[in-house]
Amino acid sequence: MNTLVCVKRVPATGARVTLTPDEQAIDARYLSFAVGPHEECAIEAAVQIAEEYDGDVTVLTLGEADAVEQLRYALAMGAHEMILLETEDGDSDWGPMATAGAIVDAIRQKEAEGDAFDILLFGNDSADAGGFQVGVRVAYALGLPVVTGVKGLEISDGHATARREGGGGWEVYEVDLPAVFTVKEGLNLPRYPSIPGKLRARRRKPETIAPNRGEDGLEKIRLKVPETEKKQAQILGHGPEAAPKVADILEELGLLS
């Protein structure tokens, strides 16, 4: 049971987002890079599948040379192989069509080499651009079934059961493999990489493929940081006297019955 996980190198946010002066990118001076939370779950799912069904996990990304950091992170979590679709320096900002096209090329190349994938996992949407497209486009191009927004995934002989949240309940899909799943945070609790995992990943080099940049349907004009509501803390009181007010608020929030 071989799984492909596609990840993207994105700035690890959590603080106020600052843009570069040309408004074309996020200012990453104080930020590190990571794979998004959906994709961390995808890696975790793939590693669990491999542990259970004895297969390989290949992690793939499209980006500049430094994106190997995210591939190695996945390796430290337990993935086995890395593919880097290495773009030219300063040319990692590919739209969803071009990205999907390059991934499809790579998958076909691997198939031709005898390395076919049974399961293809994507994050539901990237943590930075949020296009919701790449997984769907790859599935379409390869003629594979796709389930998006997956928050539950079970594999059994030759097919998968995928669950996604639907108005007040769960939608359950039975899919024959191979298939594409775009997964969401909450699918599982991703593990942290261990020290032995880090050491294993450290010296490994990814298989590098030079991707061809095809057409893109989207054109980026500029980025804009949306207005966020200013947080205002309220002090309810000090010491024991504050307790009744705290209780009132908890009641208001429906946390007390």
Partner 1 sequence: MQSEDMMSTIPEHANVVIIGAGIVGNSVVYHLARKGWTDMVLIDKGPLPNPGGSTGHASNFIFLVDHNKEMAALTLDSTRQFKDLGVFTQSGGIEVARTEARMEEFRRRMASSKAWGIESYLITPAEIKELVPYINEEILLGGFYTPGVGVVDSLRAGTLMREYAVDKGALTLSPNTEVLDIEVKNGRVTAVVTNRGRVAADYVLIAAGVWSPRLARMAGATIPLTPAVHQMISVGPIPILEQTGGEIKYPIVRDMDTFMYERQNGSDMEVGSYAHRPILMRADDIPSIEEARLSPTELPFTEEDFDPQLEQALELMPDILGDERAGIRHAINGLLSLTPDGFPLLGETVEVKNLWSAAAVWIKEGPGVGRMIAEWMTDGYSEIDAHHSDISRFYDYARSEHHIRARTSEAFNKTYGIVHPREQWESNRNVRVSPFYSREQDLGAVFFETAGWERPQWYESNAKLLEEFGDRVNQRPHEWDARWWSPIINAEHLAMRERVAMVDLSAFALFDIKGPGALDVVQQVAVAQMDVPVGRGVYTPLLLPNGGFKSDLTIMRLGEDHFRVVSGGGDGARDRKWFVDHLPEDGSAQLHDVTSGVSTIGVWGPKARDLLQSVTDDDVSNEAIRYGRVKPIRIGGITVHAFRISYVGELGWEIYIPTEYALHVWDILWEAGQPLGVSTAGIGVYGTTGRLEKGYRLFGAELDSEYTPMEAGLARRKVKEQDFVGKEAYVRALAEEPAAILCTLTVDDHTSASGIKRYMQGNEPILTPDGERIVDAHGRGSYVTSAGAGPSVGKYILMSYLPPEYAKEGEKLLVEYMAEQYPVTVAVVGSRPLFDPKNERMKG
With CB under 8 A as the contact rule, the residue among 112, 189, 195, 255 that binds partner 1 is 195
Task: List the structure tokens of 191.
Answer: 């593990």
Q: How many residues bind partner 1 (CB under 8 A)?
A: 26
Q: For residues 223-238, b (16+ Cβ closer than 10 Å) or e, as one string?
A: eeeeeeeeeeeeeeee
In order of 50, 57, 71, the CA distances from 113 in angstroms are: 21, 16, 21
The amino acid that residue 198 corresponds to is K
Query: With respect to partner 1, which residue has the nearer C-beta, 34 or 103?
Result: 34
Query: With respect to partner 1, which residue has the nearer C-beta, 17 or 144?
Result: 17
Contact call for residue 194 and partner 1 (CB under 8 A)? yes
In order of 28, 38, 144, 199, the CA distances from 8 in angstroms are: 15, 10, 22, 22
**Least CB distance from residue 21 to partner 1, whole Å?**
15
Interacting span for partner 1 (CB under 8 A) from 7-15, 52-60, 99-107, 179-187: 7-15
3-class secondary-structure state, position 6: strand
Using CA atoms of 235, 238, 242, 246 in order, give the dihedral in degrees to the nearest 10: 40
Interacting span for partner 1 (CB under 8 A) from 1-9, 85-93, 168-176, 197-205: 197-205
The one-character DSSP state at 126 is: -
Binding mask 103-132 for partner 1 (x = CB under 8 A): ------------------------------
Binding mask 220-239 for partner 1 (x = CB under 8 A): ------------xxxxx---
Query: With respect to partner 1, which residue has the nearer C-beta, 56 or 165?
Result: 56
Contact call for residue 249 and partner 1 (CB under 8 A)? no
Binding mask 53-72 for partner 1 (x = CB under 8 A): ----------------x---
Given a contact cutoff of 8 angstroms between Cβ atoms, the answer to whether 85 and 33 are in contact is: no
Contact call for residue 191 and partner 1 (CB under 8 A)? yes
With CB under 8 A as the contact rule, the residue among 15, 189, 221, 253 that binds partner 1 is 15
Contact call for residue 193 and partner 1 (CB under 8 A)? yes
Binding mask 20-59 for partner 1 (x = CB under 8 A): ---------xxxx---------------------------
CA-angle at 143, arms to 142 and 145, nearest 5°? 110
Structural element, H or E, at residue 140: helix 134-142
**Least CB distance from residue 69 to partner 1, whole Å?**
7
In order of 20, 61, 90, 93, 224, the CA distances from 24 in angstroms are: 7, 21, 12, 10, 9
Task: List the structure tokens of 202.
Answer: 């450290």
- Interface residues with partner 1 (CB under 8 A)? 12-16, 18, 29-32, 69, 191-199, 202, 232-236
